[in-house]
Every structure is written in C-alpha cells, then in structure tokens.
Amino acid sequence: MVPFASKKTVIRAGGGLYYALIDALDYRLDQTAPFNTVYADKSIAFSTINPNATYKAAKIVPSGVQANLQTPAVESYTFRIEQHLSANTMLSVGYIGSHGYHGILSIDANVPLPTICPASPCPASYPAGTWYNSSTAPLANSALSNSTHWFSEGVSSYNGLEVDVNHHFSHGFAISRGLHLREGSRRWRQLKYQRGDEFSRVRRQSP
C-alpha cells in the first residue's frame, strides 16, 4: 500500500495461520501394553541385569498421548514501513511476531504429587500455598513406573523489531545495514505437576 501522494512510503502487512501434522503417533504408542510392554526395575544395579531373568519388582512404563490431543498451530504476523530517503537510499522499519499454541510436549505424567504448604512434610519456613516437592514422595500411581506421554499444551511467543537501511551505488553495488531486536518465550514447566495430578485422579477413579 502506498498511502501518500509522494509515493515514497510503502506499508506492508501480512499474516498466516500454520498447522503441523501429528504424523508420528506410532512412535509414541510403540510401547503400549499389552502388545509391546516395557518394564522398569529401579531397585537393581545395571551390572547385575540378566536378560533371561524375571524381576518381580519391575513395573510397567506406560506410553501414550493426551486423550484430546490438539493439532499444533502457529499464528504469524508482520507489519513493515519502507521509506525512500533519496533516490538510492531506503529505510525500512518492521515488526514480526508469532504466537504458538498446542505445542507437543513430552512429559512424565506419573510424577510425585507436590505437597501444598503448610501440610506435612512441607518445611515450616515455606509460606502457605507453596508447592513443595519432597524427594521421598511416592509417584501419583505407585503401581506404574515413570511414563512418557505427549501433551498438546506447549505455548510460545515471539516478537521482533527489524530496522534496515539500504543504499545502492552505481554499477549494481549496494550496502545494507540491519538491526534485529527480538524477544521470545515458552511456557510449559508447571504443566508437569498439573498433569501428574490429573493422571492421578484418573487412575484413582478407575475400577
């Protein structure tokens, strides 16, 4: 778009919504009981493992995906203003950003449930409402070992400022100088404990 009569200023804007295929479910479901069950026994030393032995303390290592797994998506958008300073020099200032959601996260869904202070064994110095993770806390489902599950709960954001100056000389020679400032973030860590609690509630309600 050229908004001014001088025709020396150009405004550009664009955006898009992009999806990623979830085409590797067979990888995440490759050790789902009872067809390809994986067991783990954390009570023995690696050097004493016998491939032909049966270990009674071994527990199933579950693997799966979130029941309502969503398709990962990213919204991308740009806005740029280009100004001709002279016949051979142009200044460009632009914004580029994106917001992602339903990102696939690989999470252990069977983690120990945190203690909410001031309940025991939370230290007395911790304020009320603090989540305390004790090293001796049992797994949410003690009948199983740690799990590997996919959850579509990843969130990301990106914001960038781009400034470019271009000057063209004779015979096709040009100089370009640019500056790019950016800021991004990802949020997912607290999900580990929230999903552990959800997994525990589901298992407790099962017959």
Q: How far apart are CA 115 and CA 131, in angstroms?
A: 6
Radius of gyration of the chain (CA): 27
Tell me which of 126 and 202 has the higher pLDDT. 126
- pLDDT reported for residue 2: 61
Lowest mean pLDDT among 71-85, 116-130, 144-158, 189-203: 189-203
Q: With a cut of 60, say whether residue 190 has pLDDT above it.
A: no
Q: How far apart are CA 98 and CA 5, in angstroms?
A: 33
Helices vs. strands in the chain: H and E counts, helices first: 2, 10
Collapsed DSSP state (helix, strand, coil) of residue 175 = strand
- pLDDT reported for residue 1: 63
Task: Give the pLDDT band of residue 186 (cuts 50, 70, 90).
Answer: low
pLDDT in tens, 78-101: 999 999 888 888 899 999 999 999
Phi-psi sector, 171: left (phi>0), alpha (psi -120 to 50), beta: left
- pLDDT reported for residue 96: 93
Q: With a cut of 80, say whether residue 185 has pLDDT above it.
A: no
β-pairing, 63-65 with 148-168?
parallel
